[in-house]
């Protein structure tokens, strides 16, 4: 039951995408902003050469 409630909460805020490397994943086709705990992703995602994403960089508990 807890898992189902968590999924409903997450769905209310947006989409959750899983990939081996979000920097080269085609996420720009489904979203314009990304929340991440990855320093690498936070560095590269905003670059136009990659996804041009707006990035929220926080620790996992903060996200």
3-state secondary structure the chain: CHHHHHHHHHHHHCCCCCCCCCCCCCHHHCCCEEEECCHHHHHHCCCCCCCCCEEEECCCCCC
Q: Would you say the pTM of this structure is higher than 0.75?
A: no
**pLDDT tens digit string along 4-62?**
777 777 777 777 666 667 667 778 888 889 899 999 889 998 998 888 899 999 998 88
């Amino acid at each position: 039951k807890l898992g189902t409630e968590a999924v409903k909460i997450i769905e209310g805020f947006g989409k959750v995408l899983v990939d081996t490397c979000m920097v080269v994943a085609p996420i720009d086709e489904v979203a314009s902003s990304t929340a991440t705990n990855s320093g690498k992703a936070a560095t590269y995602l905003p670059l136009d050469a990659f996804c041009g994403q707006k990035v929220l960089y926080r620790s996992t508990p903060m996200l």
